[in-house]
């Protein structure tokens, strides 16, 4: 997948976060970027680096969650030959690699307390000591850290060093989740859709059918922009008719009638009551319904539109999938005023 390196959006909350990053970029001080997965934390780190006077020096990225705890300190601070089993030669750490530039520490909240203590010294005094050495090395590194955790709460629980948090939080940029970025879902969906259509050499961009656009707008997007990009690109490449608006979208790529069944629960020991399953939460706010007939009509229309999109507007296949006759489906399409080219 092509790496995304542009900021796309128009909501005030999103633009405020980008502007704050731009203002902080020239500073040498640490910046902490907070946001849910897929909100663009690494893009903010890149912006902080590119707009600083360090833009010609390295931007070194390290995902703190990608390495086991036993290797984190060696990766960050380097090691001398023979410092531990397997250390056959001297190796510079990420701090040395980022000297004069920027070090981006992603998933900061996963660092062990020991690594946090060494990181605090590096941030406070600008020096690191390789594992197995007693000689500190001076480094000039600007720290940008990112997390999707509540670090102040972790500090209160004793799971994160409060003094390190104080040092890293000169500026804190909190990225808004996609679900609160008013108007940005439509903008981003159109951007990713057009780009995918161009990749597939479509002769034009048909856009999304009205019901699909509403589905995109109503989805909670727990994976934020990254999830939206996947959903839109998948919908575009699965659509066969570039001349017709895209009428079907699948949010969960694992949703299939043939997916493996979950393992059966183990039988309870004698004497223990079987756990009762909780009733599923209603799909909509039933308390808000004040017109039953209109609510039923809306639900029926949504089902028909979804089924038509799933079957690429093949009405006979759609009727069969819904357990209707062809004439019954035609009547429902006409009743609800659903676009029909026949």
Least confident residue range of 20-24, 72-76, 98-102, 255-259 = 255-259
CATH number at residue 253: 1.10.8.60
Alpha helices in 181-257 (DSSP H): 184-199, 210-218, 224-238
The Cα–Cα gap between 319 and 157 comes to: 57
Average pLDDT over residues 301-326: 81
Q: Which residues of 248-262 are buried (b: 16+ CB within 10 A; e: fewer)?
A: bbebeeeeeeeeeee
Give the per-residue pLDDT at 60. Answer: 97
Residues 152 and 247 placed together within one structural domain of the fold: no
Residues 188 and 160 placed together within one structural domain of the fold: no
Least confident residue range of 178-187, 207-216, 237-246, 315-324 = 315-324
Question: Predicted confidence band at 340 (pLDDT cuts at 50, 70, 90)?
Answer: low
Structural domains in the chain (count): 2
Residues 48 and 161 placed together within one structural domain of the fold: yes
312: how many CB neighbours lie within 10 A of its CB? 15
> Could you tell me if residue 341 is inside a domain?
no
Least confident residue range of 30-34, 189-193, 207-211, 327-331 = 327-331
CATH number at residue 26: 3.40.50.300
Question: Which residues are CB-neighbours of 57 under 8 A, at least 6 positions away?
Answer: 98, 99, 100, 101, 102
Residues 194 and 332 placed together within one structural domain of the fold: yes
Give the per-residue pLDDT at 23. Answer: 97
Record the tokens describing residue 278, joined without a space.
């909780």
Residues 193 and 78 placed together within one structural domain of the fold: no
Residue 21: its H or E element: helix 12-24
Q: Output 80 or 214, whichever has higher pLDDT.
A: 214
Residues 171 and 200 placed together within one structural domain of the fold: no
Average pLDDT over residues 275-292: 59
Name beta bridge partners: 60: 103
> Could you tell me if residue 143 is inside a domain?
yes
- As a whole number, the mean pLDDT across the chain is 88
Q: For residue 281, is pLDDT > 50? A: no
Residues 168 and 186 placed together within one structural domain of the fold: no
Question: Order of strands, edge to edge, in the sheet holding 59-63?
Answer: 59-63, 102-106, 142-147, 31-34, 171-174
pLDDT digits (tens, 9 = 90+) for 29-76: 999 999 999 999 999 999 999 999 999 999 999 999 988 887 888 889
Residues 235 and 93 placed together within one structural domain of the fold: no
Residues 160 and 202 placed together within one structural domain of the fold: no
Kindly state the percentage of the chain with pLDDT values over 70.
91
Question: Predicted confidence band at 279 (pLDDT cuts at 50, 70, 90)?
Answer: very low
DSSP state of 187: H
Residues 164 and 253 placed together within one structural domain of the fold: no
Q: For residue 154, is pLDDT > 70? A: yes
Residues 108 and 70 placed together within one structural domain of the fold: yes
Q: For residue 258, is pLDDT > 70? A: yes
Determine the structural domain holding residue 230 and report its residue range.
182-258+295-336
Question: Predicted confidence band at 109 (pLDDT cuts at 50, 70, 90)?
Answer: very high
120: how many CB neighbours lie within 10 A of its CB? 17
Record the tokens describing residue 203, joined without a space.
């002769």
pTM of the model: 0.76
**Strand residue runs (E) in 131-221:** 137-138, 142-147, 171-174
Give the per-residue pLDDT at 342. Answer: 47
Angle 136-141-144 from CA coordinates, rounded to 5°: 130
Residues 156 and 301 placed together within one structural domain of the fold: no
Highest mean pLDDT pick, 93-102, 128-137, 319-328, 332-341: 93-102
Give the per-residue pLDDT at 285. Answer: 64
Q: For residue 339, is pLDDT > 70? A: no
Give the per-residue pLDDT at 294. Answer: 79
> Could you tell me if residue 198 is inside a domain?
yes
């Amino acid at each position: 997948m092509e790496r995304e390196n542009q900021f796309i959006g128009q909501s005030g909350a999103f633009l405020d976060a980008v502007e704050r990053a731009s203002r902080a970029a020239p500073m040498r001080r640490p910046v902490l970027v907070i946001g849910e997965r897929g909100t663009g934390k690494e893009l903010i780190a890149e912006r902080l680096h590119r707009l600083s006077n360090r833009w010609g020096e390295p931007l070194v990225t390290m995902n703190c969650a990608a390495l086991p705890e036993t290797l984190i300190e060696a990766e960050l601070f380097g090691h001398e030959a023979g410092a531990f089993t397997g250390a056959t030669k001297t190796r510079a750490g990420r701090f040395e690699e980022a000297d004069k530039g920027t070090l981006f520490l992603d998933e900061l909240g996963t660092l062990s307390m020991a690594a946090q203590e060494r990181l605090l010294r590096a941030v406070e005094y600008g020096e690191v000591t390789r594992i197995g050495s007693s000689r500190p090395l001076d480094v000039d590194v600007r720290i940008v850290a990112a997390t999707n955790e509540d670090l102040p709460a972790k500090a209160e629980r004793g799971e994160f060093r409060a003094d390190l948090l104080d040092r890293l939080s000169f500026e804190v940029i909190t990225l808004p989740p996609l679900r609160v970025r008013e108007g940005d879902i439509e903008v981003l969906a159109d951007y990713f859709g057009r780009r995918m259509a161009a990749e597939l050499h479509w002769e034009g961009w048909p856009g999304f059918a009205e019901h699909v656009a509403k589905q995109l707008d109503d989805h909670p997007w727990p994976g934020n922009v990254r999830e939206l990009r996947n959903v839109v690109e998948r919908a575009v490449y699965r659509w066969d008719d570039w001349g017709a608006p895209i009428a079907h979208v699948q949010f969960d790529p694992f949703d299939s009638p043939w997916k493996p069944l979950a393992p059966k629960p183990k039988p309870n020991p004698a004497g223990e009551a079987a756990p009762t399953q909780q009733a599923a939460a209603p799909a909509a706010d039933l308390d808000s319904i004040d017109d039953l007939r209109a609510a039923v009509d809306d639900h029926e229309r949504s089902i028909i539109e979804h089924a038509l999109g799933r079957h690429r507007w093949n009405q006979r296949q759609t009727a069969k999938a819904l357990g209707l006759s062809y004439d019954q489906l035609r009547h429902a399409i006409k009743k609800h005023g659903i676009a029909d080219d026949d």
